[in-house]
Amino acid sequence: MSDAPQRRYQDVAAELRQLIRAEGVQPGDRILTERQIALRLGVGRSLVRDAIIMLEVEGLVQVRQGSGVYLQEGAPDTATAPETEDDIGPFELLEARMVLESAVAGLAAATVTKADIIAMREALDDERRSITEGRDDYQSDQRFHLLIAEATQNGVLVKMVSDLWNLRNRSRMWAQLHSRIFDDTYRSRWLDDHQAILDALRARDCARARQAMRDHLGNVSETLMQLSDSEDPSFDGFLFSTARTARTL
Amino acid sequence: MSDAPQRRYQDVAAELRQLIRAEGVQPGDRILTERQIALRLGVGRSLVRDAIIMLEVEGLVQVRQGSGVYLQEGAPDTATAPETEDDIGPFELLEARMVLESAVAGLAAATVTKADIIAMREALDDERRSITEGRDDYQSDQRFHLLIAEATQNGVLVKMVSDLWNLRNRSRMWAQLHSRIFDDTYRSRWLDDHQAILDALRARDCARARQAMRDHLGNVSETLMQLSDSEDPSFDGFLFSTARTARTL
DNA sequence: ATTGGCAAATTGGTTGACCATTTCTTCCAC
DNA sequence: GTGGAAGAAATGGTCAACCAATTTGCCAAT
Task: Kindly list the structural domains of chain B, giving each domain's residue range(s) and its CATH number in brackets, ordered by start.
Answer: 8-71 (1.10.10.10), 90-248 (1.20.120.530)
Which residues from A are below 8 Å from B164, CB to CB?
A: 156, 160
A65 pLDDT higher than 60: yes
Distance CA A144, CA A151 (A): 11
| Residue B203, CA distances (Å) to B103, B157, B164, B194 in order | 17, 22, 27, 14
Distance CA A110, CA A108 (A): 5
Q: Which of A113-122, A166-175, B51-60 has the lowest mean pLDDT?
A: A166-175
Distance CA A234, CA A86 (A): 12
Distance CA A149, CA A74 (A): 28
Mode of pairing for the β-strands spanning B61-64 and A61-64: unpaired
CB A38 within 8 Å of CB A3: no
CB B184 within 8 Å of CB B134: yes
Cα angle A151, A97, A77 (rounded to 5 degrees) comes to: 115
Positions in chain C where some atom is under 7 Å from a protein CB: 10-17, 20-23
A183 pLDDT higher than 60: yes
Interface of A with B in 133-192 (CB under 8 A): 138-139, 142-143, 146, 150, 153-160, 162-167, 169-170
A79 pLDDT higher than 80: no
Smallest CA-to-CA distance from A32 within A16, A10, A43, A8 is with A16
CB A73 within 8 Å of CB A219: no
Burial of B67 (0-12, 13-18, 19+ CB in 10 A): exposed
A238 pLDDT higher than 60: no
- Could you tell me the pLDDT band of residue A5, with boundaries at 50, 70 and 90? low
Q: What's the mean pLDDT when you consider all of chain A?
A: 83
Distance CA B4, CA B194 (A): 31
- Could you tell me the pLDDT band of residue A26, with boundaries at 50, 70 and 90? confident
Bigger pLDDT: A203 or A165? Answer: A203
Q: Does the distance separating the beta carbons of A57 and B57 come in below 8 Å?
A: yes
Angle formed by the axes of helices A34-41 and A8-23, nearest 10°: 100
Q: Tell me, what DSSP letter sits at residue B235? A: -
Q: Give the chain B residue nearest A208 (alpha carbons).
A: B248
Q: Does the distance separating the beta carbons of B50 and A50 come in below 8 Å?
A: yes
Q: Which pLDDT belongs to residue B38?
A: 87
Give the other-Cβ count within 10 Å of A158's Cβ: 24
Q: Is B117 on the interface with A (CB under 8 A)?
A: no
List, in order, residues 6 or more apart from A162 with CB less than 8 Å away.
A146, A149, B59, B76, B81
Q: What stretch of H or E contains B61? A: strand B61-64
> CA torsion sign, B193 to B194 to B198 to B201?
positive
Burial of A87 (0-12, 13-18, 19+ CB in 10 A): middle
Distance CA B53, CA B47 (A): 10
Min distance A183 CA to chain B CA atoms (Å): 23
Across A37-175, the runs of DSSP E, i.e. the strands, are: 61-64, 68-71
Which residues from B are below 8 Å from A100, CB to CB?
A: 99-100, 103, 160
Distance CA B116, CA B123 (A): 11
CB A49 within 8 Å of CB A13: no
Q: Per-residue pLDDT tens, chain B, 249 aa: give them.
A: 445 567 788 888 888 888 888 888 888 888 888 888 888 888 888 888 888 888 888 888 888 888 888 888 766 665 554 444 456 788 889 999 999 999 999 999 999 999 999 999 999 999 999 888 877 777 789 899 999 999 999 989 999 998 898 888 777 777 777 777 666 788 889 999 999 999 999 999 999 999 999 999 999 988 888 877 666 666 666 556 666 666 676
Which residues from A are below 8 Å from B146, CB to CB?
A: 76
List, in order, residues 6 or more apart from B133 with CB less than 8 Å away.
none
3-state secondary structure B62-119: EEECCCEEEECCCCCCCCCCCCCCCCCCHHHHHHHHHHHHHHHHHHHHHHCCHHHHHH
Q: Supply the pTM of this predicted model.
A: 0.84
Angle formed by the axes of helices B90-111 and B206-227, nearest 10°: 160
CB A220 within 8 Å of CB A190: yes
CB B224 within 8 Å of CB B91: yes
